[in-house]
Structure 1
């Protein structure tokens, strides 16, 4: 097992205080949006096995089966298939969706054939992979997730009393669900800029007034008015009003599958996703919005946001999701509790978010199915014990047995293989 040194990404929407508070460091005054843990080429974690710092991506490339395990390599190829993050939203992120695997492969191949540079601002597909993701709240967390039922959205829009919204209300009431959602989203994102900007401004004023009055939709109206404050005149504000507004309490989570429109608005969370950069934006951003491609990817299906709560399986609290590239679980270690053995034939990243958690390596043997000789650089060459404080993390190669002890909270990211 190896302690990780991780990169914090300074995106403009990041909180200036949330990640420093977790790490126990002084704020820099600059936004600190995401801390990445993994082997993504954009910001791979680094570790030192006695020969100096090296990137986790480089170490995995040197001997994928030893680090990831044969099962993970067979299932996902010779790379770590997930990326773990701390995400700290100080202001809203863009409204976005992610493609499914077939769409990502087709879109990436098409842009490659057309010679669209990978760093081009209008490029949609940075790789050929899908990007399902899970966000688990560490603090109260606010977001938008999935389409609200059209009749409910029609009521919410009608109560605003903005005449420009009447055509959308009529469509949402009269058309079948998928047709209604598609037609309204298309109309909003394709409208003439000046006209839609005026509508957004009037809608934001009305939403702010209704939020101040209270009532069952006050939180949602406040959120939409806040979006308009951050992105004045952006048609994404109206697109966002089609979505469920959700507040997560610490320990609750959301799973975002392919084609589900979503946006994170505020809060600190642990995010786990497939290792991809593919994002199609619907608004709330100055970046490229490809409306035709977006409409091809979005799933026009309404439903509840689907808040996840973990299931306790022998002291490990597991967040159940329908993907194999990642699996997130949590250990809450109480004072005086017996050490908790932890073994896996797949790679793991362990992240402490509260207290102090100690990792003890078992040097007596490895799991059945793990490489007989261990990783090329060998977990036995690493420390026999690591103590993780909040915000600190460790990489555990496939097949290494460890035991958890201490008092605190530890998140475990691994794969299903």
Structure 2
């Protein structure tokens, strides 16, 4: 009997039992009126976690980034500087232009997710009547398309100083910010210290079913709340969703270091039959050494849905009792490898990836759900 283990993305995880319990028992109110106690608790928790004045719960990371662009780039003819491999630029349908009327001006991302600061400074515009007004700079941490790279703290600090010199706000797309915090072993607050706004996702690697938060100053969040309402993001009794996000921060986020450790073990030559080593050693993303940064995303999206089963890992030869929902809960991105294990009985599991990278892996787990060896 074969089981399907979905390793396409860290967004396909399912809520834990404690999340479901919290959702069912959450205290709710009308969040558009600011009266949902669970949402208010989550927003306060996230603001404190990131060292900012306030936070706002929104449905998605894409909306969080768009709201930041709309608040910071509030003049007609504004532009935002982003990396050419940024999620904001590549995978958010050009919402900055389509909805906000903001030009995205790109600079070349380096393999580590950073970009040249001198190039950024040279690209700042607004004094010439013929040019758009540079109103925001955005960075991504961890950087998805660059293989989950964690941005260096010194580089972020230097970029922050550059932005302050030119009175330009700095936004961080921190969808997987807590992975960066776990890798650097520093509080998330330290990473975003120089940022004027930050987006944080609860449904990427944290197992919450839906939701993100955007944080910043009280004035910024006041304006962000207006933008959320205009975009249709006012969700009324959304404490049902916020409850799962609170559990994610309390119970799942502290386990990210273990998640990274498992990804690194897979990357240190234990991907059998390929002779390849993973490119990234930093977070929960691992790509093949010979692939360009965005190849996994491009290939997976071009495959027809009729072959979707071949984009999953087919578990063969599983022994012992295990149902489909008791198998591997993963925290990965296409050709990125990392595993978070849920309820298991002692079993050996062979994984075969027919299309993704032609490799076989063997997991052996004990009754305490600990990974014994490959």
Normalized per residue, the structure richer in strand is: 1
Q: TM-score, normalised by structure 1?
A: 0.27
Name the one with the larger helix percent: 2
Select the structure of larger CA radius of gyration: 1
